[in-house]
Amino acid sequence: MSTPDRWAKAYARQANADFETWNALVPNRLIPECHKLLFLQMACEKLVKAHLCSKGTDPVNVQASHGFTAKNLPIIVREHLVSIGKKTNEIVWILKHAKHLASEIELLAPAVRRGGQRPDNCEYPWEDSGGTLRVPLDWAFRPTNLIVDAAGRTFIKVVRAAVTELLV
Amino acid sequence: MSNKDVEARKLADAHYAVEAGITQIFRVRGSAEAEGLSDEPIKLLEVNAYTIPSGIMPLHFGPATAIGVTSPSTIIEVTPAEFARLQSRELQLPQGWTIADLLPRLSGSNGE
Q: For B75, left (φ over 0), alpha (ψ -120 to 50), or beta?
A: beta
Which tens digits make up the pLDDT trace of B50-108? 999 999 999 998 888 889 999 999 999 999 999 999 999 999 999 899 999 999 998 76
| Residue-level pLDDT at A68 | 86
Q: Rounded to a whole number, what is the distance in Å from the CA of B25 to chain A's nearest CA?
A: 14
Quick check: B12 and B68 in contact, CB under 8 A? no
Q: Do the Cβ atoms of A26 and B57 come within 8 Å?
A: no
Measure the CA–CA gap between A47 and A108, rounded to whole angstroms: 16
- Specify burial of residue A82 (Cβ count, 10 A radius: 0-12, 13-18, 19+): exposed
Quick check: A100 and A81 in contact, CB under 8 A? no
B29: β partners:
B98
Q: Do the Cβ atoms of B64 and A147 come within 8 Å?
A: yes
Kindly give the pairing relationship between strand B42-48 and strand B73-78.
parallel
| DSSP classification of residue B106 | P
Closest CA to A119 of A136, A137, A98: A136
Measure the CA–CA gap between B43 and A6, rounded to whole angstroms: 39
**Could you give the maximum distance between any two Cα atoms of chain A, in Å?**
50
Residue B22 pLDDT grade (very low, low, confident, very high; cuts 50, 70, 90): very high
3-state secondary structure of B29: strand
| Residue-level pLDDT at B109 | 61
Q: Identity (one letter) of the amino acid at A82?
A: V
Query: Nearest by CB to B41, which of A27, A94, A146?
Result: A27
Q: Do the Cβ atoms of A157 and B59 come within 8 Å?
A: yes
Q: Do the Cβ atoms of A153 and B11 come within 8 Å?
A: no
- Give the residue ranges of chain A where pLDDT is below 50: none
Residue B105 CB neighbour total at 10 angstroms: 18
Phi and psi angles of residue A75, each rounded to the nearest 5 degrees, phi first: -65, -40
* A17 shares contact with chain B (CB less than 8 Å): no
3-state secondary structure of A43: helix
- Residue B1 pLDDT > 80, yes or no? no
Residues 6+ apart with CB under 8 A from A2: A10, A59
Q: Rounded to a whole number, what is the distance in Å from the CA of B43 to chain A's nearest CA?
A: 12
Q: Which residues of B touch A31 (CB under 8 A)?
A: none
Which tens digits make up the pLDDT trace of A72-111? 999 999 999 999 999 999 999 999 999 999 999 999 998 8
Q: Which residues of A touch B60 (CB under 8 A)?
A: 23-24, 26-27
Residue B110 pLDDT grade (very low, low, confident, very high; cuts 50, 70, 90): low
| Residue of chain B minimizing CA distance to A92 | B50
Q: H helices of chain A, where?
A: 4-25, 33-54, 60-63, 69-83, 88-106, 152-167
